[in-house]
Amino acid sequence: METDPTHAGPRPSCKLNTNGARFGARKLPETRSGSMTPAQDQILKELQSHARSAAKAEALMAYIAKRLHEKLTRYNWVGFYIVDPVDTGFLIVGPYAGSFTPSVRIPLNTGLCGAAATSKQVVVVQDVSKDPRYLAGSSMVKSEIVVPISVNKKLAGELDIESYFADSFPKSECEFVEACANVLASYLTKA
């Protein structure tokens, strides 16, 4: 584990690929990599397949959020935040699936989503009660991961997943969530 100044305490290393690229124009691996499970690999392939035929980015985001929420029992809220096209100092909620209403608009300097957006780094918090930056969407949330999505080195949005269970995002989950976010990043790069 490494220490990350953007969140409280150590977090698992979340490096998805070995060539230094994190998001943007790159081909996703067609086979399982690193510590992803066969189930995660199957879901990722499903998302990649859907991305090839998605008519719009919003439809792809809705599909990703819905499938992750349905398939992974610890993913109690899954959604996207998008950089506000009117005021780029804010994130606005995009498609999501889950049991509570999210914050609709978040300043870039606020919360875990804001921390991920401004640092352009994955933010993983295994116990949100110990991180003062957490903006409560639900008192039941115990852990959260936020993955920024950049296109051509510019922040486009982020994938946010919240869980009612502490310690829900070990390295294997982190790698998987980054790969899911990268499905959208690749789609947006081609758009």
Domain, as residue range, for 93? 52-190
Kindly state whether residue 23 falls inside one of the protein's structural domains.
no
**Domain contains 3:** no
Point out the residues of the chain with pLDDT beneath 70: 1-34
The answer to whether residue 120 is domain-embedded is yes
DSSP single-letter state for residue 128: G
- Identify whether 34 is part of a domain: no
**Closest by CA position to 80, among listed 93, 63, 69, 98:** 93
Q: What is the pLDDT of residue 29?
A: 37
State the total domains in the chain.
1
Distances (CA, A) of 150 to 79, 130, 139, 141, 157: 16, 28, 30, 26, 7
C-alpha–C-alpha distance, residues 29 and 17, integer Å: 9
Q: Is residue 165 part of a domain?
A: yes
DSSP output for 83-131: E-SS-TTEEEEEEEEESSPPPSEEETTSHHHHHHHHHTS-EEES-GGG-
Give the global pTM: 0.83
**pLDDT for residue 33:** 54
In a domain, 152, yes or no: yes
76: CATH: 3.30.450.40
* Residue with tokens 């976010």, as numbered in its chain: 181
Q: How far is CA 173 from CA 36, 37, 93, 140, 182, in A?
A: 7, 9, 23, 20, 14
Three-state DSSP state, 38: helix
165: its two tokens: 């269970």
